Amino acid sequence: MANLQSIKQRYGIIGSSELLDRALDTAIRVSNTDLSVLISGESGVGKEVFSKVIHSLSSRKHNNFIAINCGAIPEGTINSELFGHEKGAFTGANTERKGYFETVNGGTIFLDEIGEMPLDTQSYLLRILENGEFIRVGSSKLLKTDVRVIAATNVDLLKRVQKGKFREDLYYRLNTVPIRVPSLKERREDIFLLFRKFANDFAEKYRTPHLQLDQHARLLLESYSWPGNIRELKNIAEQLSVLAEDRLVTAETLVKHIPNIRRRNLPAIPAEEGEDLKEREILYKLLFEMKHDLNDLKSLVFELINNNDLNVSTDIKSLRQLQVPDLPGNLSSRPAIRENFPEYFENEDMPLQEESGQPIIIERADSKSFDRMEVVEENLSIEDMEKDLISKALKKHKGRRKDAAEELGISERTLYRKIKQYEL
């Protein structure tokens, strides 16, 4: 059996991605059988190359191989193209014609974009896959053929089956051995290797100096989603080989040729208009109050320790150096937050001091003894605090949602949804 590296060199397959190697290994293993193969993958990932690898390593390699794009043949003529027709079968059929399944007898047919094949043609194809029989258009004579079928698709065939646009029995007959070719964004480690290969090829073709990428440009190239996959990458390499003035390609040069290269299509949860900001304000309030409560608690603890000359471990004393962490995302540094919540920033930089007045004294029988300290973990769940805050507001306003919503700074609709969410 041929090894992966020799096959890659023979067919110009660039890359060392695990997903790519797995797909290629499956193609090599299935090549010496007559099993039907369904190759899936996005447009431009090189599915036809895999079909040629399978044919070249099979016992049919000395017979014909033909690639047919099912989406490029008009619906009215695809049956004639695939299965042939008799003279006079339809207008313009002046002579009989052999179809691809007849002329490629003993070889391999690659049916690209199989999902675009009409339903009536699918029934003819299913019959060939099951027993090798077909009938020309306009004929009643049964013919036989021995052809291996390799199909490819860039759509989800199961979804087309559910919509009634693809035969379920044909799907499972074609999908005897599935091979999924990974997209370029799934094999980012291969992007630079492919670009360098294409750039060198075009430099020789157009007799121009070889292109080089600076570090930032390379990172930008590898982080792009490449919706057109290898085909798009090859086009960009050709454009840059011809149009780039400087042979050292920078990130700015890439942006000129791929305007969307910096765009990141991250998933987002849609929120009702105006509600997202209100909910965020509640969280800000909770976080600010939590920070000040922790500072007050720390002041109280150390005032008790100092005024009562308590014997505590060094671990407890070291808490005095402990700083309350900043809010997430440096919220306290944002001007908009400072404007909305000025009361929380008035004394934030002041050191902790003992309050004036009478010191806090703990009366005890034995001055040399002290009670055991128990550290109680505070519940820092934002959801629990939000629930507690809403409960307090409802209790304060005796269940009047409108007043409670005004107190919380949110809409009544949002409050109603929160009440339902927390089962208050």
pLDDT digits (tens, 9 = 90+) for 175-230: 999 999 999 999 999 999 999 999 999 999 999 999 999 999 999 999 999 999 99
Q: Which residues contact 420 (CB under 8 A, 6 or more apart)?
A: none
Question: What pLDDT does 420 receive?
Answer: 80
Q: How far is the C-alpha of 284 from the C-alpha of 187, rounded, in Å? A: 41
Q: What confidence tens digit (pLDDT) does each residue in 40-51 have? A: 999 999 999 999
Per-residue confidence band for 271, with pLDDT thresholds at 50, 70 and 90: very low
The predicted model gives 365-390 an average pLDDT of 63
Q: How far is the C-alpha of 39 from the C-alpha of 363, rounded, in Å? A: 82
Higher per-residue confidence, 410 vs 8: 8
Just give the CATH number of 379-424.
Answer: 1.10.10.60
Q: How far is the C-alpha of 118 from the C-alpha of 167, rounded, in Å? A: 10
Residues of the chain with CATH 1.10.10.60: 379-424
The predicted model gives 311-330 an average pLDDT of 53
Copy the structure tokens of residue 293.
Answer: 């409560």
Residues of the chain with CATH 1.10.8.60: 186-257
Question: What pLDDT does 338 receive?
Answer: 55
Phi/psi of residue 320, nearest 5 degrees: -65, -30
Residues of the chain with CATH 3.40.50.300: 4-182
Question: What pLDDT does 419 receive?
Answer: 83
The predicted model gives 66-81 an average pLDDT of 93
Burial of 85 (0-12, 13-18, 19+ CB in 10 A): buried
Per-residue confidence band for 107, with pLDDT thresholds at 50, 70 and 90: very high
Q: State how far Cα 104 lies from the chain centre.
A: 40
Question: What pLDDT does 332 receive?
Answer: 47
Question: What pLDDT does 423 receive?
Answer: 76
Q: Is the pLDDT of residue 409 over 90?
A: no
Class of domain 186-257: mainly alpha
Copy the structure tokens of residue 250.
Answer: 């920078």
Q: How far is the C-alpha of 41 from the C-alpha of 35, rounded, in Å? A: 19
Q: How far is the C-alpha of 319 from the C-alpha of 297, rounded, in Å? A: 12
Burial of 299 (0-12, 13-18, 19+ CB in 10 A): middle
The phi-psi region of residue 399 (left if phi > 0; otherwise alpha if psi is between -120 and 50; otherwise beta) is left
Q: Is the pLDDT of residue 354 over 80?
A: no
Copy the structure tokens of residue 45.
Answer: 């990932």
Q: How many CB atoms lie within 10 A of CB 206?
A: 10
Maximal CA-CA distance, the chain: 119
Class of domain 4-182: alpha beta
Copy the structure tokens of residue 304.
Answer: 């008790």
Q: What confidence tens digit (pLDDT) does each residue in 127-177 have? A: 999 999 999 999 999 999 999 999 999 999 999 999 999 999 999 999 999
**DSSP strand pairing (133-135 vs 142-144):** antiparallel
- Kindly report whether the global pTM for this prediction surpasses the value 0.75: no
